[in-house]
Every structure is written in structure tokens, then in C-alpha cells.
Amino acid sequence: MSAACLRLLTIFCICVSTTLCSNVVWKNTGESITIQCKYKSEANSISLKKGLKKDQDIFYKSKKSSRINYADETRHQMHENGFPNFDIILKNLTKNDTGAYWCMGTKINKDTGNPEDVHGEGSVLLVVTDSIAGVDKSTAAARPCNPAPNQNLVVISVVISAVVLLTILIALLLFVIRKVKYQRVENKPRSAPVNDVYEDMRGTIRRS
């Protein structure tokens, strides 16, 4: 399977596992993307996370501090639009940048005093590919990946093998059933024949 097919399959799996299929962004290598995050509720800290498990921090900023922590300051740039809303620019994209990006934040629960996650609007699923002339990125994910000829042969061989094996199993089952029935008939006790003529002669002799 080609690298492009594997990449599209990965994107499909991410779509199934998340809710980002409506926010898919296609970019070429070397380009930039601006992710705009907005929050409906107040947050004490804001961040942009990457990955299905949101385990990779792209940047982090606390409301109480002006310091911004970047994963790569040379490629990432954040513009604050009135805390907690922000825009972040990812520059010089590579294929390794493909993945889910989440607008996240935290706030302190007034009742418990514990921090809680805040999900912001603007999360995206970024797909970075090489520039291909004549290919519409918006429909690239729907393009089927045609298997190689040798893969077709493998599929056909597996199907034929399965049919042959099933036929053999059915034949063996029918043979066993018929054999069991035959043994039951052979082992069934038979009643002894009655010689009617002999019994009539004995009765005649006794009467005489």
C-alpha cells in the first residue's frame, strides 16, 4: 500500500476516534496554518495540545504570568485576542505536523477548588502533504486507494482456500452423520423369526 494511502487511512482513523472531521485543514509542506481558539467560559490557563490523547503541548500560558511556553519557538507564534482567546501560527509545516490539534484550557472549580479542563472552539485536524498538481485537497480523503495486483491475488487465494476448507468440513460432517446412523441400524436388536409351520405341527401332534 502506498504512503499516501496509509496517510489517508490514518486520517480516517483519527476522524472515527474524534469529532474533528468537520474541521479538517489540508496544507502543503512548508506552508503555515493559523489556529484560532475561542472559549465560552473563563479559563485560568490556555494551551494548544496535539494528539488523540492530547499528550503533546504545543504551547502553554497562564493567566497570572506573561510567559509563554512553546514546544518550538522558532516555528510557533501566539497572538492573544483578549485572554483566554488566542490565535497561534504554526510555520514551515512538515508531514510530522499531521494530527489533531486541540484548543484546551483549565479553570478552578469554585466548589471543590480543583482544576478542570476547558475545551475551546477552533480545534482542527491538520493534514500536511506534498504538493501534487491537479489534486483537490478537499476531496483527497475520499479518493479510494486501489490495492496493488499482488494484493488482489492474495485476497483471491484466501477466499478460494476458505471455500475449499469449508467444503471439506461439510463433507466430513456428512460422512460422520451417515456413519453414526449406519452403526445405530447395525446395533439394533433383531427379533427371532417364528416358524409358524413348525408350531402348527407340534400343536397337531399334542392334540392327537
Each residue of 1-40: pLDDT tens digit? 455 555 555 555 555 455 556 688 999 999 999 999 999 8
DSSP 82: S
The pLDDT tens digits for 105-135 are 999 888 888 999 999 999 999 999 886 544 4
Cβ atoms of 115 and 105 closer than 8 Å: no
Phi-psi category of residue 201: left, alpha or beta, with phi > 0 → left and psi -120 to 50 → alpha: alpha
The pLDDT tens digits for 54-77 are 989 999 999 888 888 988 888 888
Average pLDDT, the chain: 77
- Residue for grid cell 483578549: 82
Calculate mean pLDDT across residues 163-182. Answer: 84
Strands 68-70 and 76-80, bridge-based pairing: unpaired
- The alpha carbon dihedral of 166, 171, 172, 173 has a sign of positive
Cβ atoms of 115 and 15 closer than 8 Å: no
Helix, coil or strand: residue 145:
coil
- Residue for grid cell 504545543: 58
Q: What are the backbone angles phi and psi of residue 195, rounded to the nearest 5°?
A: -85, 95
pTM tops 0.85, yes or no: no
Task: Determine the pLDDT at residue 21.
Answer: 64
Cβ atoms of 20 and 132 closer than 8 Å: no
Three-class DSSP labels, 11-50: HHHHHHHCCCHHHEEEEECCCCEEEEEECCCCCCEEEEEE
Whole-number Å distance between alpha carbons of 34 and 57? 16
Whole-number Å distance between alpha carbons of 85 and 78? 11
The pLDDT tens digits for 145-157 are 444 444 555 567 6
- The structural domains of the chain, ordered by start, are 3-144 (2.60.40.10), 150-207 (no CATH)
How many CB atoms sit inside 10 A of residue 96's CB? 8
Helix, coil or strand: residue 72:
coil
197 — pLDDT class (breaks 50, 70, 90): low
